[in-house]
């Protein structure tokens, strides 16, 4: 959502509790904050005008990267910007610096939608700028409708962190329906990362860094299911890893 800023209305409802790990979250919508709070975290909404990097991470135990506009293709050395690509360069610069600092520190990271694209670019990968133009045979990945509407299924690779976190949500073929809504996707995967899920048309829907304590990016929107808990395992995985990070630094 281009132009949207941090929304702190819901975070104020979460009682501050210093035993909860602190998750840094730039540009959240209320669903991200509710998903984090329900998983046991204390969300800290970052304000780029005040929260300097990397210093702000001294007070954080993990990072959640959220949805939004497209990453500037200049940042992954693509010289041509597709007409559908809408960028917010100030946000790109802040979030890529945030992501690199978090990767350097080994902080747990969960990255959602635009977030997985930021994560992949920050770590040296590239993006498909417009799926309908570059892969005309692709399934509809942005079908419209309610936020929790299932767009397509994904095939989750066994022996990945994602497969473990989704556990019983997967059918016997390691498939689950997801509410993706995107026109871009991971193209060249960043060094050190693995693909952990693809759509039936081959579009990359999740990546992870197997050597990190917790570093996972998904192309769909698990936060929209915070009321039902369908994808709560992803947030609980982030918060569990952040709790260990908090203990490690105590």
Residues 6+ apart with CB under 8 A from 119: 65, 99, 109, 111, 190, 207, 215, 217
State the CB neighbour count (10 A cutoff) for residue 128: 21
Residues 6+ apart with CB under 8 A from 199: 138, 139, 141, 152, 153, 154, 155, 180, 205
Catalytic residue among 42, 60, 95, 113: 113
Examine the residue annotation and report whether 221 is marked as an active-site residue of this protein: yes
Nearer to Mn ion, 129 or 180 (CB): 180
Q: Compare residues 91 and 141 and give the one whose CB is closer to Mn ion.
A: 141
Pattern of binders to Mn ion over 138-157, x per CB under 5 A?
Answer: ---x----------------
Query: Any catalytic annotation for residue 208?
Result: no
* C-beta closer to Mn ion: residue 141 or 161: 141
Dist. CA 121–CA 163, nearest whole Å? 24
- To Mn ion, the closest distance from the beta carbon of 180 in angstroms equals 3
Token pair in block for residue 151: 């767009």
User: For the chain, how long is the longest CA-to-CA vector?
Assistant: 51
What tokens appear for 113 in the block? Answer: 């939608």
CB of 88 to Mn ion, least distance (A): 21
Nearer to Mn ion, 120 or 180 (CB): 180
Query: Using CB atoms, what's the residue nearest to Mn ion?
Result: 180
Residue 80 appears among annotated catalytic residues: no
From residue 167 to residue 206, what is the string marking binding to Mn ion with x (rule CB under 5 A)?
A: -------------x--------------------------
Q: What angle do CA 216, 17, 41 make, to 5 degrees?
A: 15
CB of 154 to Mn ion, least distance (A): 8
* Site membership for Mn ion, residue 91 (CB under 5 A): no
Q: How far is the CB of 201 from Mn ion (least distance, A)?
A: 9
Binding segment for Mn ion (CB under 5 A), chosen from 9-17, 69-77, 136-144, 237-245, is: 136-144
**Active-site option among 141, 182, 183, 221:** 221
d(CA 112, CA 67): 6
Smallest gap from residue 234 Cβ to Mn ion (A) = 16
How far apart, in whole angstroms, are the C-alpha atoms of residue 62 and residue 41? 10
10 Å CB burial of residue 246 (0-12, 13-18, 19+) is middle
C-beta closer to Mn ion: residue 117 or 180: 180
CA distance 243 to 26: 20
The count of residues interacting with Mn ion (CB under 5 A) is 2
Q: Would you tell me which residues interact with Mn ion (CB under 5 A)?
A: 141, 180
Catalytic residues: 113, 221, 223
């Amino acid at each position: 959502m281009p132009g949207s800023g941090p929304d702190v209305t819901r975070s104020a409802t979460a009682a501050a509790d210093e035993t909860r790990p602190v998750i840094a979250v730039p540009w959240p919508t209320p669903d991200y904050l509710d998903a984090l709070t329900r998983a046991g975290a204390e969300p800290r909404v970052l304000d780029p005008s005040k929260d300097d990097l990397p210093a702000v991470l001294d007070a954080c135990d993990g990072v959640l990267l959220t949805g939004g506009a497209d990453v500037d293709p200049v940042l992954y050395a693509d010289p041509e910007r597709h007409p559908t690509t809408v960028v917010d360069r100030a946000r790109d610069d802040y979030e890529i610096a945030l992501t690199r600092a978090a990767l350097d520190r080994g902080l747990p990271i969960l990255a959602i939608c635009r977030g997985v694209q930021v994560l992949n670019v920050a770590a040296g990968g590239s993006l498909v700028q417009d799926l309908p133009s570059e892969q005309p045979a692709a399934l509809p990945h942005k079908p419209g409708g309610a936020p929790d509407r299932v767009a397509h299924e994904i095939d989750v690779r066994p022996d990945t962190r994602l497969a473990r976190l989704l556990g019983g949500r997967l059918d016997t073929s390691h498939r689950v329906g997801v509410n993706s809504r995107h026109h871009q996707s991971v193209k060249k995967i960043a060094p050190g990362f693995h693909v952990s899920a693809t759509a039936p048309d081959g579009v990359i829907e999740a990546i992870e860094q197997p050597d990190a304590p917790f570093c996972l990016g998904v192309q769909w929107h698990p936060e929209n299911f915070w009321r039902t808990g369908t994808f709560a395992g992803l947030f609980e995985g982030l918060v569990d890893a952040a709790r260990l990070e908090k203990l490690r630094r105590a």
